[in-house]
Amino acid sequence: MDEPWHIADFRAPPGLGNRHVQTLLPRCLPRPAVRWAGEILALPDGDFVELAWAQPAPSETDAPILVLFHGLEGSIDSPYARELLNAAAGLGWRAVLMHFRGCGEHTNRLPRAYHSGDTADARWLIGQLSQRYPDAMKVAVGVSLGGNMLAKLVAEEGSQGLDLAGAIVISAPLDLAACADTLSQGFARLYERHLLASLKQKMAGRLARGELPLALGPRELASLDSLRGYDDAVTAPLHGFDGAADYYRRASAGPLLTEVTLPMLMLHADDDPFMPPALFARLPRPSPAVRVELAHHGGHVGFVEWRDGRPASWLARRVARQLTAWQAPRTGR
């Protein structure tokens, strides 16, 4: 049986193929200056998320829309966010990023945060966009944690349940338990410590103010030394899971790829330091609606290529090509 994936056309520049170089390089390079306007989107449970709309926005109400979901502790300032919003805007698309709860400028109201399987806010946003722009084609892009969330949402809702023409999933931790274990080993511990420090800093103030119904104090929070430990003590109890193992099992999108009926492009690097080796070989064969493109190199949300005499984002170029391909049947091109 043929492998259920394709070889991506990404090529790392000579000397820049190392997985950690590719992962870290986007943070060191100049990123596009994206003008954006913020919006507070009210949620049905009384909380809110913050949206960032690329500016200037198209004047046509039927202009296609890209909605972007960032990764763990990401934001409008993440290098990939700037690259992808800029690429979509350059094609004449209306482009918006949804900050997960508490990832924007303001602390969210309710005693909860966000997690890899938290699909309700994304579903609500897509529904709101459908009401505002009923004639616009819409494509969702999810990166890392946001990619797992988006894949899970698409699998749950089916092609008729969402007003989307397609979805693009980038460097997603589709097996959350295996990815948590990978991040706790070797050089990847540096990434884990960085993410953990950001998560704990955000939660420390809320815990000290008594805003969170958790059975641990500031000292116990500070002592957590792994993402699995954090998910066991914080993420799981805040969001109704029976520990980290239950959270990872119920929130991982990998086992659901067989159920996807919406056109979906998945981009992944074999050397992603956040993931176990051969991630897709661990998962069920995706449905025919899913196109998986694997690159030998690229790191985690890296994919820095050499273009026009300088380093550039292959991700932005590949996503732009996919947006154009999906838009073409709508415009008759």
* pLDDT score recorded for residue 158: 87
Shared-domain flag, residues 290 and 162 = yes
Distance, in Å, from the CA atom of 123 to the CA atom of 328, rounded to the nearest integer, reads: 25
Enclosing domain of residue 104: 6-175+258-331
User: Is the separation of the CB atoms in 195 and 179 below 8 Å?
Assistant: no
Q: Which of 78, 116, 144, 252 is catalytic?
A: 144
User: Is the separation of the CB atoms in 125 and 55 below 8 Å?
Assistant: no
Q: Which of 223, 251, 279 is at the close of a domain? A: 251
Owner of token pair 């900050």? 99
Beta-bridged to residue 130, according to DSSP, are none
**Residues 23-63 pLDDT 10s:** 999 999 988 889 999 999 999 999 999 999 999 999 999 99
Shared-domain flag, residues 56 and 110 = yes
Q: Any idea what the CATH number is for the domain that residue 299 is in?
A: 3.40.50.1820
pLDDT above 80 for 67: yes
Q: Is residue 297 part of a domain?
A: yes
Distance, in Å, from the CA atom of 115 to the CA atom of 137, rounded to the nearest integer, reads: 27
Q: Is residue 1 part of a domain?
A: no
Q: Which of 171, 252, 272, 297 is catalytic?
A: 272
Clarify whether 99 is annotated catalytic.
no
* pLDDT score recorded for residue 2: 61
Query: Who has greater pLDDT, 215 or 283?
Result: 283
Q: Is residue 322 part of a domain?
A: yes
* pLDDT score recorded for residue 1: 40
Specify the DSSP element, H or E, that contains 39. strand 35-42
Domain count, the chain: 2
Q: Which of 70, 99, 297, 300 is catalytic?
A: 300
The average pLDDT across 256-285 equals 97
The average pLDDT across 217-234 equals 96
pLDDT above 70 for 333: no
Shared-domain flag, residues 11 and 125 = yes
Shared-domain flag, residues 36 and 182 = no
Shared-domain flag, residues 46 and 87 = yes
User: Is the separation of the CB atoms in 299 and 67 below 8 Å?
Assistant: no
Kindly state the percentage of the chain with pLDDT values over 70.
Answer: 98
